[in-house]
Amino acid sequence: MADPIILRCRLNGTPKTELIAPNRSLLDFLREDLGYTGSKHGCDVGDCGACTVRIDGAPTLSCITLAASVEGKSLQTIEGVAGSEPTLVQQCFHEHVAAQCGYCTPGIVLVLEALFEEQADPSEEAIAEVLGSNICRCTGYTKILSAAIDARERRNGRPAKPPTPTFARDL
Amino acid sequence: MLPLPDFDLHRPQTLPEALRLRAALPKARILAGGTDLIPSMKQGLFTPQDVLHIAGLAELKGITVNADGIRVGALTSLTEMRRDARLATLVPGLVAACKSVATPTLQNMATLGGNLLLDTRCRFYNQSQFWREALGGANAKPATGCLKCDSAGICHIAPKGKGCYAAHSADTVPTLILLGAQAELASVRGTRRLAVEALYGEDGREAAPDRSPRLLIAGDEVLVAVHIPTPTGPTVHRKVRARAAIDYPMLLVAASAEGVVLSSLGPRPQRVTGIQDSMLDADIDAVAQAAFSQAFPLATHVWASTWRKKMVRVEVRRALAELATLNGDPR
Ligand SMILES: Cc1cc2nc3c(=O)[nH]c(=O)nc-3n(C[C@H](O)[C@H](O)[C@H](O)COP(=O)(O)OP(=O)(O)OC[C@H]3O[C@@H](n4cnc5c(N)ncnc54)[C@H](O)[C@@H]3O)c2cc1C
Ligand code: SF4
Ligand code: FES
Ligand code: FES
């Protein structure tokens, strides 16, 4: 076994100093070593986006990132997104029922939060493009897209675009 | 969980230090953004004892533009390239190629250098160890897959052949070739420049007995930067893939006045030959037909190679029509 190395970083605003193996993936470090299970373990090889975290603000796939490579950086996981209240993106996901099994949701919320920090009023194409980073097997993306568009409208002071009634809701 | 092999991690902070380590550890793998290397290590394709993590090298970062052209450091991420206003004006076709790589999240991690040196891909190779063991290889014991993984294995695409035909899959490369880009390579022995077009050999493997290997760079060299001469006209990048996101290409076509480059058909990109005119004057159907007759895709992708071959003609036509429009010629 290679010698362990010391990792110093900030996780959701809190400084962390941990001993890690050089070959530890960031996802396994977060989930197995620190118990932050909000980042999901999907494909494990960079295809699906379930493991997305933000490193210095940029959405990154933690399954194909070495924990050692976040030395000195700031990490944000889904656990660090909401304050005492859910964010607008989270609120819209809730109202639009944009999570079904929920496995893809943490990653998708993080890429949308990052997009809205970068572009106040992104086009529908720009939203769809970042959603291409994350695979959702349940929703068919319709509700995710409508939640994201609603969040965009509301954060820009425009009227809400409430969810369109669905069969399930009408029952 | 796919475990990573056990390795020592080296994190040089300056280029000279990195070059010394590179020379001292010839079997080490270089880790840049990791979006190619880490999945491959998780799939057991590489089990290096040493990994050289070069992300700390300031010399390999950033984009500069001057009278001679553009220099993009090898560690520049594709997202940085997409956001650079100067690149958007000077080389919009290259920016479009960056944008078509994988997904926005992967573009945050992916470096230009890693894209140039991306491993060749094949449906029998880019699979988990479990998958490859289940497939077996006629001679390999224990069966680990095909010839590219194991010199005792066989190629499942061309079982009687002696080569590997895994496909070059780097989106930015066909465009960089047309732009006349050069790779700046450094080692303890010094620095040299090599045309991007001359980086790639005939075989899909890192070492092949009778054919040139997939990369024609020395084992102790590190890619420092890519130099692009100031472009004289537009380039067009076209990509065929199953989904509009995530997927690697099953065919790439780049076009400019200088010519047409095809890729993802075999281990290296290829120029369409035999066209005398500038692509702005050439007959689109004649170029498309020439490209079709020079393309020999093998079954390296899940999609039928006969269909990929037909798409060469279609995509070359589309690329040249797009190029004509960009040049103000509404053909
Ligand atoms: C799901 C998925 C989809 C993808 N789709 C695409 C796609 O559509 N198109 C595409 O082109 N790519 C695709 N990629 C691959 C990849 O994201 C890009 O090619 C990326 O640019 C590779 O850069 P990197 O820094 O991550 O490379 P790394 O994995 O760090 O390195 C790649 C190779 O280059 C070597 N290397 C890297 N930098 C240097 C250097 N400076 N000097 C010497 N050697 C070096 C490494 O040793 C390694 O062998 C995809 C990846 C994933 C996971
Ligand atoms: S072309 Fe043949 S040897 Fe090369 S990766 Fe595919 S199956 Fe393996
Ligand atoms: S688990 Fe990381 S991309 Fe799928
Ligand atoms: S809600 Fe189940 S994968 Fe997206």
Mutate which of A43, A55, A65 to test ligand 3's pocket (most atoms within 8 Å of Cβ)?
A: A43
Record the tokens describing residue B227, joined without a space.
């130099």
Supply angle C-alpha B141, B155, B252, rounded to 5.
Answer: 140
Confidence band (pLDDT; 50, 70, 90) for B270? very high
User: According to the model, what pLDDT value does residue A164 have?
Assistant: 72
Question: What stretches in chain A show pLDDT beneath 70?
Answer: 165-171
**Count of alpha carbons within 13 Å of B85, Cβ hemisphere only?**
0
Note the helical H segments in chain B: 15-24, 37-42, 78-83, 85-90, 92-99, 104-109, 112-116, 129-135, 173-178, 284-294, 305-326
Domain with CATH 3.30.465.10 in chain B: 64-118+167-326
DSSP B198-261: GGB-SSSSSS-SSS--SB-S-TT-EEEEEEEEPPSS-EEEEEE-SSSSSPPPSEEEEEETTEEE
Does A44 lie at the interface with B, CB-CB under 8 angstroms?
Answer: yes
Mutate: best of B38, B52, B107, partner A, most A CBs <10 A: B38
DSSP A92-152: HHHHTT--SS-SSHHHHHHHHHHHHHH-SS--HHHHHHHHTTS--SSSTTHHHHHHHHHHH
- What's the CATH architecture for B64-118+167-326? 2-Layer Sandwich (3.30)
Instruction: Report helix angle A142-155 to A105-118, nearest 10.
Output: 30
Q: Which of B55-64, B130-139, B273-282 has the lowest mean pLDDT?
A: B130-139
Mean pLDDT of B1-9: 94
Cα–Cα distance for residue pair B325/B188, rounded to 1 Å:
47
Confidence band (pLDDT; 50, 70, 90) for B129? confident
Which chain B residue is nearest to residue A27, measuring alpha carbons?
A: B1
Q: Of A138, A78, A68, A75, nearest to A112 (Cα)? A: A78
User: According to the model, what pLDDT value does residue B34 have?
Assistant: 98
User: According to the model, what pLDDT value does residue A169 have?
Assistant: 47
Confidence band (pLDDT; 50, 70, 90) for B53? very high
> What radius of gyration do chain B's Cα atoms show?
20
| pTM > 0.90: yes or no | yes
What residues of chain A lie within 8 A of the CB of B5, using their CB? 23
User: According to the model, what pLDDT value does residue B199 have?
Assistant: 98
* Residue B164 contacts residue B205 (beta carbons within 8 Å): yes
Does A25 lie at the interface with B, CB-CB under 8 angstroms?
Answer: yes
Does A119 lie at the interface with B, CB-CB under 8 angstroms?
Answer: no
pLDDT in tens, B172-197: 999 999 999 999 999 999 999 999 99
First to last CA, chain A: 58
User: According to the model, what pLDDT value does residue A53 have?
Assistant: 98
Cβ-defined contact of A2 to B9 (cutoff 8 Å): yes
Spatial neighbors of B92 by CB under 8 A, at least 6 apart, are B234
Cβ-defined contact of A68 to B2 (cutoff 8 Å): no
Alpha-carbon distance values, B135 to B43, B47, B128 (Å): 14, 20, 11
- Give the pairing type, strands A5-11 and A74-76: parallel
Identity of the residue numbered B132? R
Shortest distance, CA B250 to any CA of chain A (angstroms): 17
What residues of chain A lie within 8 A of the CB of B103, using their CB? 49, 132-133
Cβ-defined contact of B246 to A135 (cutoff 8 Å): yes
Does A117 lie at the interface with B, CB-CB under 8 angstroms?
Answer: no
Task: Give me the sign of the Cα torsion angle B113, B117, B119, B121.
Answer: positive
- What's the CATH architecture for B1-54? 2-Layer Sandwich (3.30)
